Amino acid sequence: MKEVNKYFYKTFFLIFFVLTSQAESKVLSIGSPEAKVTIKVFSSLTCPHCASFHTNVYEKLKEEYIDKGLVKFEHHAFPLDLAALNAEVIVRCQNKSEKKFELLTEIYKKQTTWAIGSDINKINELIKKVGLNFNLSNEKMDKCLKNNKTQDEILEQRIEAQKNIK
């Protein structure tokens, strides 16, 4: 019986660790995991107020608190439309966390140049122009945009935030 319990606890711990790691990997974060303060920002990449926060406040937070290991910053995707969803997908096309935040910052800075009109194909091409400056090829971004799993993960995060945080 002790062997069964021992096996059960090891298996439970392993499953818990894997699920926790997967859940955490879906959220874009920067800063020390040991920081005593975590700032969670829920934003849409087509929201002008969100862009204003990111370009005016985030940069100061990063310099004064995040880079010094005092704060962990989490960007939670909360897309309000298809253009915002596709921009989030392009951010996740980038492999390195630091580069994802640099791309996120650039997408916010250039929001008025790509988040225009209602033709999603044109909007996607404009978003991809931003991604090209971050070593993402058109082919890679097209592949990312067709990845339903990434889109589903982003939308699931938004739904969970809506339900749990309101």
- Is the CB of residue 50 less than 8 Å from the CB of residue 108? yes
* 142-149 LR contacts (CB < 8 Å, sep 24+): 144/89, 144/90, 144/92, 144/93, 145/86, 145/89, 145/90, 147/89
Three-class HEC string of 99-117: HHHHHHHHHHHCHHHHCCC
Q: What is the pLDDT of residues 27-41, one digit of tens each?
A: 889 999 999 999 999
Overall pTM surpassing 0.85 (yes/no): no
Counting DSSP H helices and E strands in the chain, the numbers are 9, 3
For residue 110, what pLDDT is reported? Answer: 96
Question: Could you tell me the pLDDT band of residue 3, with boundaries at 50, 70 and 90?
Answer: very low
